[in-house]
Amino acid sequence: MINQQIHLVSRPEGEASADNFKLVDVPVPELEDGQVLVRHHYLSLDPYMRGRMNDSKSYAQPQPLDQVMIGGTVGIVEKSRSDAFGVGDKVVGMGGWQQYAVVDANQPGLLRKVDTKHIPLSAYLGPVGMPGVTGWYGLTKICKPEAGQTIAVSAASGAVGSVVGQLAKARGCRAIGIAGGPEKCAYVVDELGFDACVDYKAHPDPKSLNAALREAAPDGVDGYFENVGGRILDAMMLRMNAFGRMAFCGMISGYDGAPMPMAYPALILQSRLTVRGFIVSEHMADWPDALKELGAGVASGKIKYRESIADGLASAPEAFLGLLKGKNFGKQLVKLV
């Protein structure tokens, strides 16, 4: 049996390109005791992968060259030599950019069984998976929303941002989104239920962007969830209320390696802001609480989400590069089956 994989074969210099990746065919090895064979149905594409492509110091180890590219996956167990998993079990894990994965089921945390009765399998890579938990953690533990306060989030139509705003609304807050383009902003307000959304593409200069944010958040912003950085962050700093909280989750505007200076760092002092970066995998103790709320929300239809789905493993590099440029709408997945 042949397994298709995508390897990282070179480090990007500046912007990543399709040439950094290579599609390879390898045989699927025979299972040993304690192992299971998972056939992946969906692969998750996420902005953090861009940082892993670099060979530089970061919060995570660089992606090794000439090996399967890292990535979250959901699939079905096809063969099992483990008592913990049976054939047909639906599972979520970090199987990487490949059609099949052989997983050591004895290693805790590598595979998790999921129930698809009320929650679609793909949602375990989005709102009921790592992106959803990321939004939940940054909002509840760092932004600490209180009813009547204003919570803002950049990349608001994406897999993380869309969850942040909906959870903020459920807690009685005013939710402000920032997204790129009228279609995404309409979705954020009309479907996700945010109170307002600022289209940053319609406001290319700081004065215009500041005015739009002032209109969207007339009472200022108490909690801000950052996915983008750059000029969006600069504009948000000006809107933060005294003792505001900022959860730094991603800096997608700087993932090509260019420095990202801050225009108003003095506001951290003047407004007595709490600015905290976080990596969701360092907070595993909070995942059960997060997944409980997120799972119930998706199962009941209270938490809405959207997916962009690329077809086939070979489409993953181009879909990933598109994600870095904001071409996706909602959670970016690759359908493998």
* Domain range enclosing 161: 130-281
Residue with tokens 């709490």: 274
Residues 33 and 100 placed together within one structural domain of the fold:
yes
Cα-Cα-Cα-Cα dihedral sign, residues 153, 157, 163, 165: positive
- CA distances to 48, 155, 233, 265, 266 from 262, in Å: 21, 19, 8, 6, 10
Question: What pLDDT, on a 0 to 100 scale, did the predictor assign at position 260?
Answer: 86
> Which residue, among 246, 294, 281, has the nearest Cα to 132 in the 3D structure?
294
Question: What pLDDT, on a 0 to 100 scale, did the predictor assign at position 58?
Answer: 74
Question: What pLDDT, on a 0 to 100 scale, did the predictor assign at position 14?
Answer: 87
Q: In CATH, what number is assigned to the domain containing residue 165? A: 3.40.50.720
- CA distances to 4, 76, 251, 258, 331 from 326, in Å: 27, 30, 13, 18, 11
Average pLDDT per 10 consecutive residues for the chain, totaling 337 residues: 97 94 98 98 95 83 95 98 97 98 93 97 98 98 98 97 98 98 98 98 97 98 96 97 97 78 96 97 96 98 98 98 93 97
Question: What pLDDT, on a 0 to 100 scale, did the predictor assign at position 42?
Answer: 98
Side-chain-side CA neighbours of 252 within 13 Å: the count stands at: 21
Residue 295 covered by a domain:
no
User: Residue 245: which region, alpha, beta or left (left: phi > 0; alpha: psi -120 to 50)?
Assistant: beta
Residues 142 and 277 placed together within one structural domain of the fold:
yes
Question: What pLDDT, on a 0 to 100 scale, did the predictor assign at position 231?
Answer: 94
- pTM score, whole prediction: 0.95
Number of domains comprising the chain? 2
Question: What pLDDT, on a 0 to 100 scale, did the predictor assign at position 60?
Answer: 75
Residue 193 covered by a domain:
yes
Record the tokens describing residue 152, joined without a space: 């803002």
Residues 137 and 244 placed together within one structural domain of the fold:
yes
Question: What pLDDT, on a 0 to 100 scale, did the predictor assign at position 53?
Answer: 95
Residue with tokens 């992106």: 131
